[in-house]
Amino acid sequence: MTLAGVLWDMDGTLLDSEKLWDIGVRELATELGGRMTDELRHSLIGASGPNALRIVFDGLGLDRDPEAVAAAGRWLEQRVTELFAGPVPWRPGARDALAAVAAAGIPAALVTNTKRSLAELCLDTVGRDWFRVTVCGDEVPEGKPAPDPYLRAAELLGADPEHCVAVEDSPTGAQSAGAAGCRVLVVPCEIAVPPAPGRVFRESLVGLTVPELHAVLATPVA
């Protein structure tokens, strides 16, 4: 198969932004009168905005009153906007990996569960020119772990998902990419990702080469 596209996750994969999200969600838990345990925090990694709020409210034992959930979402967005105001740190090797893919002429997409308004702040750090298309969590019917974000990105690229490699750091993201039919290069950041057919693991993006991505594409899915 020919590698038709590389589909990049953002938080925890290209940018070390999960640490900023960590501040935001822990402060949100305090704002809601609870405490964010490490177990609850880990369950949020890679989750879409609506799913994350459901997890927070359930984890804190709070009633999911629609108005309260909406208010918590607005509070978290404002806080994360403040945290993203400055340059967000890169993950090791991420910038060079993007450059290698671009130099090879392989189409790239950004596929994130983060909503568009916040993703745009991160793109100020990453740069928009690396990506032919960008897909955000509030632009698809269901965010990760559903396949929708990766299916949409492949559609916009005019590519078969089975001919694409997704680069992910979380179990939620890897599940989404695999469900869409992509092969997955997993570079864990905050939490471990379980092995599964179609997944190849790497400790970091440092030194990633295009031939390695072609090798990921050839990984059996069964």
107 contacts: CB under 8 Å, gap ≥ 6: 4, 5, 6, 132, 157, 159
pLDDT at 86: 79
pLDDT at 48: 78
CB-based burial label for 97 (10 Å; 0-12, 13-18, 19+): buried
pLDDT at 50: 85
CA dist 165 and 96 (Å) reads 17
Query: For residue range 11-62, what is the model confidence (pLDDT) as tens digits?
Result: 999 999 888 888 999 999 999 999 999 899 888 887 877 888 999 999 999 9
pLDDT at 60: 95
pLDDT at 49: 79
pLDDT at 98: 98
Q: Which amino acid is at 68?
A: A
pLDDT at 206: 98
| Residue ranges in the chain modelled with pLDDT below 50 | none
